[in-house]
């Protein structure tokens, strides 16, 4: 008998006779069935779990889901166990999924998308009120009831109580990557906000036919979720602010259920969207403050790379994506990508580096008496405690990219740096240096693009970044949320390092750093961007532009 043929000879729990198979996913197989006790058609989901504690846990979680009563949540009639295998008995919703409808009829218009979104928000709100996260909100798990148009959120098969992680006990990835939030990609615990990110991706799919994070490989998907610029589809029209709010990478700033419901309710009834009230984000400084010389007693080697000049290499975002593919054992990548969600500030690129190319193991040098008077030049993180020097001579400006010939992106200019490289930097950024590194710094000193070029050290970029990470707490007060991802740049071995720390001053507040280094022709290139946490969007854009345009010279 084929898997799709009716299984009329199978009766579970003494009352549910299985019929044809309706669908199959990673977490279970769904059968149409007849409840012989009550004489009604039902859907029965056979869970793909093990025995013992795993099966018991699945049943317990299914019973919790059964307590959710909402018109847009599939009704769970029963939770049973038969021959050691758990089953969930649900209402049978006549009609296909949203994925089926998109495949057959094409994308929805903004009005229908808003109606679907509003229904799903109600379903998620009811689930979250009971402490249940769906964790797999996607078009295939949204049913569209024929004849009534009722929207039903189903397949809570991987739902967990709030506080669970994305990696199962067996190390498997839980959920659908194209609809999974950045914080869950980290393997970190996730809250209700993670379901709202998934809803934002689903709304984009409803408007266009596919997730905005769809790529040709799993590594590409992971990179897109964590790094790529998020552009709501043009089809979103007036729903664009809502989608932007749901696809905010920082879960603390993501739109909440109540806010999103208010916006969609207004749109469904009036055809227009009121102003978006963003969810309160983390405390930020009132404004970017100039960074004074580091206080005596410590040397926050901003962007210190452990390997001799762990140069965070200019890598295009596309290449980084490819690199993640190579580095991917799903659980490993998920963990590695973790830090990317917050894009923490790294001490990588200009790190304390020994003359041999390895990171210095000695104490971090204290600030020089000739520390820069401008916030543009951070304290030196080099191997030797030489004085920081500000270079006033600007780098030559190139009208176009020296290799591709393309004009600089809007708001940027190409510079041919005298230290042997070229890249695009924002208009108005000025060049400074210390004894080991080159910086391009914003007018207010708050955002710094750093570049370091050294001889390639033993162990390569990954070893360099790991050593930098080990020295992070001593070099950066409040060092936290760090992650290192092995990757490639232009097909060459590379490493991506991110972290956050307390910043130079209390007035400025915490900072994040993005840092990429790679080996090329016997040299290690390290490129990083450091910025206050309140300006991460700017920083990410500058980081991408620098990596996409970087060209070694000589």
Domains, the chain, ordered by start: 11-91 (3.30.200.20), 98-270 (1.10.510.10), 317-392+445-543 (3.40.1000)
- Point out which residues pair with 167 in neighbouring strands: 173
Short-list 476, 535, 472, 465, CA closest to 313: 465
CA 369, CA 367: separation in Å to the nearest integer?
Answer: 6
What is this structure's pTM? 0.51
484 in Cβ contact with 472 (< 8 Å) = no
Q: What are the residue ranges in the chain where pLDDT is below 50? A: 1-3, 161-173, 277-393
Q: What is the structure's pLDDT at 164?
A: 40
The length of the chain in residues reads 554
Q: Which token pair is 186?
A: 């980290």
Q: How far is CA 130 from CA 133, 137, 200, 432, 493, in A?
A: 9, 17, 22, 55, 46
Residues belonging to the active site: 136
Residue 317: strand, helix, or coil: helix
Amino acid 300: pLDDT = 34
pLDDT at 157: 52
Distance CA 484, CA 466 (A): 7
Residue 118: which H helix or E strand, with range? helix 110-129
CA dihedral 232, 237, 242, 246 (to 10 degrees): -20
pLDDT in the model for residue 131: 85
515-544, pLDDT tens digit by residue? 999 999 889 999 999 999 888 878 888 888
Please state, in angstroms and as integers, the Cα–Cα distance from residue 337 to each residue in 296, 340, 403, 476, following that order: 35, 5, 31, 21
pLDDT of residue 276: 53
């Amino acid at each position: 008998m084929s898997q799709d043929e009716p299984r009329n000879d199978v009766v579970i729990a003494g009352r549910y006779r299985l019929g044809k198979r309706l669908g199959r996913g990673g977490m279970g197989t769904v059968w149409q069935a007849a409840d012989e006790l009550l004489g009604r058609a039902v859907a029965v989901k056979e869970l793909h779990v093990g025995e013992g504690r795993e099966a018991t846990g699945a049943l317990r979680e299914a019973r919790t889901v059964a307590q959710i009563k909402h018109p847009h949540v599939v009704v769970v009639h029963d939770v049973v166990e038969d021959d050691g295998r758990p089953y969930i008995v649900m209402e049978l919703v006549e009609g296909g999924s949203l994925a089926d409808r998109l495949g057959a009829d094409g994308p929805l218009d903004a009005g229908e998308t808003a109606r679907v979104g509003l229904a799903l928000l109600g379903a998620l709100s009811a689930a979250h009120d009971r402490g249940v996260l769906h964790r797999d909100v996607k078009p295939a798990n949204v049913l569209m009831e024929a004849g009534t148009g009722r929207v039903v959120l189903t397949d809570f098969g991987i739902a967990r109580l709030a506080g669970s992680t994305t990696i199962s006990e067996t190390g498997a990835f839980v959920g659908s990557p194209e609809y999974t939030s950045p914080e869950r990609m980290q393997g970190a615990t996730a809250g209700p906000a993670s379901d709202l990110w998934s809803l934002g991706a689903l709304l984009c799919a409803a408007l266009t036919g596919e997730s905005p994070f769809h790529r040709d490989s799993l590594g590409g998907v992971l990179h897109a979720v964590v790094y790529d610029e998020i552009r709501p589809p043009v089809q979103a029209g007036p729903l664009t602010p809502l989608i932007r709010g749901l696809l905010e990478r920082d879960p603390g700033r993501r739109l909440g259920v109540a806010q999103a419901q208010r916006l969609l309710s207004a749109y469904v009834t009036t055809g227009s969207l009121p102003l978006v009230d963003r969810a309160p984000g983390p405390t930020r400084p009132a404004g970017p403050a100039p960074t004074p010389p580091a206080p005596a007693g410590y040397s926050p080697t901003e962007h210190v790379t452990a390997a001799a000049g762990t140069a965070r290499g200019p890598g295009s975002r596309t290449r980084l994506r490819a690199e993640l593919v190579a580095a991917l054992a799903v659980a490993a990548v998920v963990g590695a990508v973790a830090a990317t969600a917050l894009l923490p500030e790294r001490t990588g690129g200009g790190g304390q580096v020994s003359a041999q190319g390895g990171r210095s193991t000695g104490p971090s040098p204290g600030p020089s008496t000739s520390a820069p008077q401008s916030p543009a030049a951070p304290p030196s993180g080099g191997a030797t405690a030489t004085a920081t020097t500000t270079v006033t001579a600007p780098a030559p400006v190139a009208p176009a990219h020296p290799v591709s010939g393309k004009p600089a992106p809007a708001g940027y200019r190409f510079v041919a740096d005298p230290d042997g490289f070229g890249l695009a930097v924002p208009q108005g950024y000025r060049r400074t240096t210390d004894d080991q590194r080159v910086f391009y710094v914003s007018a207010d000193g708050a955002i710094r693009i750093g570049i370091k070029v050294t001889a390639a050290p033993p162990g390569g970029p990954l070893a360099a970044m790991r050593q930098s990470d080990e020295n992070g707490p001593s070099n950066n007060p409040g060092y936290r949320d760090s992650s290192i991802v092995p990757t490639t740049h232009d097909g060459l071995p590379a490493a991506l390092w991110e972290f956050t720390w307390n910043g130079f001053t209390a007035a400025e507040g915490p900072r994040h750093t993005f840092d990429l280094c790679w080996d090329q022709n016997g040299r290690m290139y390290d490129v990083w961007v450091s910025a206050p946490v309140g300006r991460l969007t700017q920083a990410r854009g500058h980081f991408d532009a620098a990596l996409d345009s970087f060209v070694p010279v000589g």
